[in-house]
Structure 1
Amino acid sequence: MSNNKEIAKEVIAAVGGKENIRSVAHCATRLRIMVNDENKIDKNTVEGIEKVKGAFYNSGQFQIIFGTGTVNKVYEEVVGLGVNEGSTGEMKQETKKQGNLFQRIIRTFGDVFVPIVPVLVATGLFMGLRGLLTQEQVLAVFGMVPADISPNFLLYTEVLTDTAFAFLPALVAWSSFKVFGGSPVIGIVLGLMLVNPVLPNAYAVAGGTADPITMFGFIPVVGYQGTVLPAFIAGFVGAKLERWLRKYVPETLDLLITPFATLLIMSILSLFVIGPVFHSLEEVVLNATIWILGLPFGLAGLVLGAINQLIVVTGIHHLFNFLEIQLLANTGVNPYNGIITASVAAQGGATLAVAMKTKSKKLKALAYPSTLSAFLGITEPAVFGVNLRYVKPFVFGLVGGGVGGFFGDLVGLEATGMSLTVIPGTLLYLNDQILLYILGNVIAIAVAFTLTYLFGYSDKMREEIEG
């Protein structure tokens, strides 16, 4: 702990001291610092601090990569030294004027969807385990057949696998309200209204076993199970409406009038306007995504596998959370995951080649843990700490990702969840695809490793770059 405190002190000093820090927050791997003056940051000093795996300035934030687990502890020490603690929402407000419109929209998508990803990860694991436990081959080991499984047990597994997606609009509306400055509890209730059991179930309507309710003679109304965009827009509009009401409603009546008016107005807008319009738009996006992923000859896997880590570097990869959630909610599978995992594994393969080829003990000490991190699904230490620094390993990692993605697309890999890749990702393929999934990872790693080892790195290159 004391070591992390020293690291925190060094970080604060290297970014210009407390007086240059407006706020600090963190994500899974990075310490994110809002500074008053970017010119006061000593990037070289930061990168030389113990446990730092890379640093860069992006979208108004100075981001320091520590890796999972470590970043939480360093963050606590930085805050403990008196630096202003910034929530995701506050940091969003501070960065909202920085970057172009597209970058700001992508950041907002990330702010809304990243907090709900953990429960969707858990749901994906539940789906994978359910698939494993109901396989004939697995049951045969215990002398059982599918008919021997208790109906009550299967019902329980449905509770585990269906709840998050059945009430997905409530999760999205909650997070959206929180990000846009509204009361999260109002967002939860509004989201639950979109999936109220009295409305025709969206899946039943799609399956032809239920009919929409016609309101006002021309508006078809259904439940919005598994939808994302309607809840996102409802949360955005609802939060703005609630904040506007609070400006004009007297404090003595605020508790009575503001929630009532917000929910009344937003229930009407959400069910009769926002829902129908944006659900139609969402279906267009979903169908376009499915079309792209369905391109022949593995083209989608080749292209997306090659560019995925480029997208990660730009920081706009959170946009794909929305697409993956849509795929899972509407089709029950996620073919995009098999492509992503190839791009992640390939960067790990390139970093491993650097680690094995270099004679520098310092670089080995950085590259080997970064390789492990990539194989566990987190590429930032490998990409920013090693591969991008020497350029060619990153490029050959992209090539490996393209080849692995091409293979995954050709064999039709389909995950049961999202956000788990490489080694942890095997839990999303606990079916007859697990060997193909492993083979796809091996191909991506092998291509990136071989190209990097033969053509992508030498200690002479390191000496030239580092002077």
Structure 2
Amino acid sequence: MNYKETAQELLQALGGKENVSAATHCATRLRLVLHDESKVDQEKLDNMEAVKGTFSTGGQYQVILGAGIVNNVHKEFSKMVGLSEMSTQDVKNAGAKKLNALQRFVKMLSDIFVPIIPAIVAGGLLMGINNLLTAEDLFIKGESLVSANPGIADLAALINTFSNAAFVFLPILIGFSATQRFGGNAYLGAALAMIMVHPDLLNGWGYGGAVVSGEIPVWNIFGYEIEKVGYQGSVLPVLAASFILAKVETYLRRVIPSALDNLLTPLFTIFITGILTFTFVGPITRNAGHLLSDGLIWLYDTTGFLGAAVLGLAYAPIVITGMHHSFIAVETQLLADIARTGGTFIFVIAAMSNVAQGAATLAVLSTTKDKKMKSIASASGISALLGITEPAMFGVNLKLRYPFIGAIIGAAIASAFVTIFKVKAVALGAAGLPGVIAIIPDVLIYFIIGMAISFAIAFSITWVLAKKEMKKTDIVENQKNIA
């Protein structure tokens, strides 16, 4: 490939260098911020052999080129545009300026929770492994693997301890990430979160029982009582506390003399925010978090398979807008409160949607005669089955439209099926075929059947629609030949 010619052709299709305000690349995509996306010649981009797909999200216009190609094209592209080397974060910041209030809020949640996903995934998957070891009747009738093999009991206990850590100390992860995102010192955010889960406090999960028994410990400060309750596994309290801490710190750094800044700013920041957290912010947001969890459980139980079908139908369109990133915060709350919620149903529906997108793309692979489309569909279809759907959605399904229709119908029906059997996940991770390890063992078989339904329906509908499209194309071609 001539990278210089490819970059030149891309630049022309994107509206020229005057239309490009920022540019960088990731492993497979050229990530751009354009002044006016309406100037993009989409047809020209679609016809370029190097381009595997395009999409716009988060204020960025992204061109999928593939690993090993994108970095070389970007190098030539940057020279032509005259932009200096930019990081992915620089381009994200530039793109964020084009977002509306709701999009900025979703981006904020994404910025906070995406960095901590690996820790949550690790803990959740370890929890899934522990469930496999301790679940009765899963492998042996009337017994679990641990009861049948007492020698692995301590291994199961060790895995259980490892799996719980990320959720017990979840506020520390969120405190660090959120405070950094809000412009404060991330280590002060982590320190505040450590206070919120300090072992001297009543364990957050024991708060409900303490309320019933009337045995809540308190600090008595000049006659004012402050509950000594921890926030283990909480999400909203530490988010709110981190925001307040960042603002308090920023204010104090402006008013405290620089000679005393390093001494007094951390002291007053932690003390003031800590007091506010345990007196007002924490109790209010803890109740709000419980209401959120209860509301989702109520919605799940009340709307049942019909509600799940609607969410399954809408999940892929939500991904297009980028708003699915806001689900991470909700799922984290559901998993943190797993004793009451039983896990997250959103992950399960996401898996049904992703498998459906992959199936629809593979149906295109089996029917299309376009060599370029076959090349894109083969790789992106498998990627979607494994949980990464953007290449399939933007490179194939949305471009052809009818595969997208087949995919969302398959996702809707499969989502309704798994909801009938109350399938939930105890972890986050790749929402697709690898998601089996994150599912509660008792309903694992229904999750697998659900994925099979999703694949079969999406593939079948797409295949039928593809044949109809081919017939239409043949008729049009024949009419042209006759004319």
Q: Considering the TM-score relative to the shorter chain, is it more than 0.5?
A: yes
Matching residue of 2:267: 260
Q: Does structure 2 conserve the Cα–Cα contact (< 8 Å) formed by 1:55 and 1:65?
A: yes
Distance 1:144 1:100, change over 3 A: closer
What is the Cα deviation at residue 36 of structure 1? 4.5
Deviations 1:201-235 (A, max 9, x none): 01122355994333454543411111111111222
Say if 1:142 and 1:298 are closer, same or farther in 2 by CA, change over 3 A. closer
Task: Provide Cα deviations, 1:128-180, integer angstroms capped at 9, x if missing partner.
Answer: 11112234555799996357145543442122111111111111111111112
**SS of 1:432 mapped into structure 2:** helix
What residue is the counterpart of 1:391 in the other structure? 401
Amino acid at match of 1:287: D
**d(CA) in 2 for partners of 1:212 and 1:6?**
71
2:326 pairs with 1:324: no
Deviations 1:215-258 (A, max 9, x none): 45454341111111111122222222222222333333222222
Q: Quote the offset at 1:94 in angstroms.
A: 3.4
TM superposition shift of 1:451? 1.2
Pairing 1:67-216 to 2, within 5 Å after superposition: 83-86=84-87, 88=89, 90=90, 93-136=93-136, 138=139, 145=147, 148-149=150-151, 152-208=154-210, 211-215=215-219
Question: 1:294 aligns to what SS in structure 2?
Answer: helix
User: 1:281 and 1:407, CA in 2 relative to 1: closer, same or farther beyond 3 A?
Assistant: same
How do 1:218-237 and structure 2 match up within 5 A? 219-237=226-244
Distance across 2 between alignment mates of 1:276 and 1:418 = 27
Cα gap change, 1:20/1:339 in structure 2, threshold over 3 Å: closer, same or farther?
A: closer
Q: C-alpha displacement at 1:58, in angstroms?
A: 3.5
Amino acid at match of 2:169: F
Residues 334 and 387 of structure 1, relative CA distance in 2, 3 Å threshold: same
**Number of residue pairs matched by the alignment:** 461
Matched, 1:33 2:47: no
Q: Once structures 1 and 2 are overlaid, which stretch shifts more, 178-187 or 58-67?
A: 58-67
Unaligned ranges ≥5, structure 1: none
Contact 1:124 1:416 in 2 (8 A): yes
Q: Distance in 2 between matches of 1:212 and 1:396?
A: 55
Matches of 2:226 and 2:74, distance apart in 1: 52
Per the TM alignment, residue 22 of structure 1 is displaced from its structure 2 partner at its CA by 2.9
Q: Deviations over 1:95-142 (max 9, x none)?
A: 454332212111111111111111111112111111122345557999
- Tell whether 2:377 aligns with 1:367: yes
Whether 1:286 aligns to 2:293 is: yes
Distance across 1 between alignment mates of 2:48 and 2:209: 57
TM-superposed CA distance for 1:430, in Å, is: 6.8
CA separation of 1:269/1:42 partners in 2, compared to 1, >3 Å: closer, same or farther?
A: farther
Matched, 1:411 2:412: no
SS in 1 for 2:441: coil
CA 1:427 to 1:462, structure 2 compared with 1: closer, same or farther past 3 Å? farther
Q: Does 1:422 align with 2:421?
A: no
Partner of 2:22: 22
Change (3 A) 1:160 1:50: farther
Larger radius of gyration: 2
Contact between 1:7 and 1:50, CA under 8 Å: does it hold in 2? no
The percentage of counterpart residues that share the same residue type is 34
Structure 2 residue matching 1:433: 3-state secondary structure: helix
Segment drifting more, 330-339 vs 383-392:
330-339
Q: Does 263-272 or 199-208 show the bigger shift? A: 199-208
Q: Secondary structure at the match of 2:232?
A: coil
Residues of 1 paired with 2:250 and 2:361: CA distance?
49
Tell me the SS of whatever aligns to 1:33.
strand
Q: Give the 3-state SS of the residue equivalent to 2:128 in structure 1.
A: helix
The offset of 1:418, in angstroms, is: 1.4
When structure 1 is superposed on structure 2, of 204-213 and 97-106 the one drifting more is: 204-213
Q: Partner residue of 1:402?
A: 412
CA distance in structure 1 between the partners assigned to 2:160 and 2:290 by the alignment: 25
Instruction: Work out whether residues 327 and 334 of structure 1, in 8 Å CA contact, stay in contact via their aligned partners in 2.
Output: yes
- Listed as ranges, the gaps of 5+ residues in structure 2 are 477-483
- Corresponding residue of 1:443: 453
Q: 1: distance between equivalents of 2:438 and 2:103?
A: 31
Q: Which residue of 1 aligns with 2:60?
A: 61
CA distance 1:47–1:83, change in 2 (3 Å): farther
Amino acid of the structure 2 residue aligned with 1:433: V
Q: Within 5 A, what are the aligned runs for 1:7-18?
A: 15=14, 16-17=16-17
SS of 1:212's equivalent in the other structure is coil
Q: Distance in 2 between matches of 1:405 and 1:424?
A: 17
Which one-letter code corresponds to 1:346 in the other structure? A
The equivalent of 1:379 in structure 2 is 389
Taking a change above 3 Å as real, the CA distance of residues 42 and 245 of structure 1, as seen in their structure-2 partners, is farther
Residues 244, 18 of structure 1: alpha-carbon distance in 2 compared, 3 angstrom cutoff: farther
